[in-house]
Chains A and B, each alone.
Chain A
Amino acid sequence: MKLYSLSVLYKGNSKAILLKAAYDVSSFSFFQRSSVQEFMTFTSQLIVERSEKGSRASVKEQEYLCHVYVRNDNLAGVVIADNEYPSRVAFTLLEKVLDEFSKQVDKIDWPVGSPATIHYAALDSYLSRYQNPREADPMTKVQAELDETKIILHNTMESLLERGEKLDDLVSKSEVLGTQSKAFYKTARKQNSCCDIM
């Protein structure tokens, strides 16, 4: 039961802008960590770009679940977790973080912000605390406001894309991903990851 990343983004007209992020890649192999982190940034941005304002969704990709909440004011949050982590807690966390963020960071800074310029330091401790869903939020069972039927479920990343768009193309064009990450993506795509040697 793991949380891998927690990010706050702004849904601009054409692009999603990363404002702040926290990552926990400690459970990945040492040499994969930087690529995995880049991928989580890439994925978070892509998901926010393809999600409607005022929506919540969970996107499944292999053994990961990406939970996204895009508010009506275009402030968005993405939690990337494994498939054991209770989604209800993930959405509680997103609600809480975005609420706090919007009170601490001026709205005017959102469309032009970046992790370097935004002053919000709580993400790392939220990510760490919420690793154990029960310690973090004992009231998780009581979720009066959240209507689970309104959460859109996507079985693959592909289903977020436009017709004709390929994930491979988006990966190779991405500015967020370094060459090593792109190479990592290529080999991971080719292989069934459970028996790979290369």
Chain B
Amino acid sequence: MAESTEEVAVLVQRVVKDINNAFKRNPHIDEIGLIPCPEARYNRSPIVLVENKLGVESWCVKFLLPYVHNKLLLYRQRKQRLNKDELIDVTCTLLLLNPDFTTAWNVRKELILSGTLNPIKDLHLGKLALTKFPKSPETWIHRRWVLQQLIQENSLPTFVKKENLATFPTERVQRIVQEEVEVCGEAAGRYPSNYNAWSHRIWVLQHLAKLDIKILLDELSSTKHWASMHVSDHSGFHYRQFLLKSLISQTVTDSAILEQSPLVSEHISDLPKDDNEEDTSAEHHRVVDLSHLLEEEVELSTDLIDNYPGHETLWCHRRHVFYLQHHLNNKLPHSQMRLSPVDSNGGTLNDLNLSPAVTHMTQAMDVDGLNDSNKQGYSQETKRLKRTPAQDSLGIEMEHRFIEQILSTCRNVEQARFANAYRKWLVTLSQ
């Protein structure tokens, strides 16, 4: 067993080299893991490569981690020099063992900024780290920094304007968004209610996709099945609430336009279309039928509540959707959600007339977004909701009937409790 400092140094150098070689031998490694192995087998490397999975035997971690950790700190304190390759290998090893070691990510930031490290490598490294540490906050934070670097790189345009039509994301941005959505989806599957993964997904839609309507709609339909199979995943359902809210804020929903919508979509189909862009331009300009989307969401909620009794997440989701529906149905003057026209620059948070504190956070995390994060706004809206006329009470009546039906047939104690709580909430709304 390696115990003396020299032996440890030799072991560590060998392990770092083995990890590096493993990546060279197999550039398609897609998962890392720890192999519980309390004792070293004589003279065998603790690095195991099976198919596309990289494993580290647990016995070596207690030697490896403090050593490389210390090495990096000494470099940072300028007590030890490390050349760029050594830095890359050391930080890579460190981050695969502990991706929440911010200093290691920061060293890599410096390497990226000086042009010595390709930022794509960090996206790859982060993706690997997330297979073992799907929540790792520092990994997600660094990822956002890297994405911002990539987007600004070469000052390439990220959005294109087509004739008089709205802007929509370039293919490059679409690919990046697609990849991020996949990484988030995987991480969400590895840990229940993975807030960090879902917040990242929201950030990507806000800052990379700029809440592009087609992408929002695609996300809504592609997460439907996932949500149905993860009925206690609060974060997953919160994401759907975000999508619906964003669709509302990104679409013209003036009551006049809503009534005309069949005419508007016909008119759009008569517009001259580019040969290549036929579908995209039409899709980017369809008027989103918000009422229909919300109705579908209510149906989904009903279906899931009926089939999977006793999940609070589903009831919380129902409250949110009901709330959104009634905003729309009553066509209330939206002082909190001033709706940006379809052809604006992707609809930034600035368009939504939010409080100054929120608009400064364009690059920061604003997971709740829109008006819900503003507590004042919430109570203003609820007050307005409480004053609304008979239109609203029809919806509330239907909800009460739904609750009755649940209570009369359910055999699950929790389900009854949630149904009763929902009923109480509805009653406070109409007071």
Contact = CB atoms under 8 A, between A and B. Distances in A.
Contacts of B97: 197
A186 B36 CA distance: 9
B230 interface: yes
B234 interface: no
A180 B33 contact: no
B230 A84 contact: yes
Contacts of B58: 183, 187, 198
Contacts of A86: 307-309
Given A148-B411, A183-B37, A187-B58, A194 B135 contact: yes
Interface string B18-42: 0000000000000101111110000
A14 interface: no
B311 A84 contact: yes
A86 B308 CA distance: 6
A184 B48 CA distance: 17
A159 interface: no
A30 B31 contact: yes
B38 A183 contact: yes
Interface string A63-89: 100000000000000000001101000
A197 B230 contact: no
B61 A198 contact: yes
Nearest to B411: A148
Interface string A176-198: 00001001101100000010011
Contacts of A134: 307
Contact of A84 (B62, B189, B231): B231
Contacts of A83: 232
Nearest to A35: B36
Interface string B88-114: 000000000110000000000000000
Given A86-B308, A132-B229, A197-B97, A32 B33 contact: yes
A141 B189 CA distance: 27
A30 B33 contact: yes
A31 B35 contact: yes
Contacts of B38: 183
Contacts of B135: 194
Given A63-B192, A197-B97, A180 B36 contact: yes
A84 B35 contact: no
A108 interface: no
A181 to B, nearest CB: 8
Interface in B126-141: 131-132, 135
Interface of A: 1, 27, 29-32, 35, 63, 83-84, 86, 132-134, 140-141, 148, 180, 183-184, 186-187, 194, 197-198
8 contacts: A1-B230, A35-B36, A84-B230, A180-B37, A183-B36, A183-B38, A184-B36, A198-B62
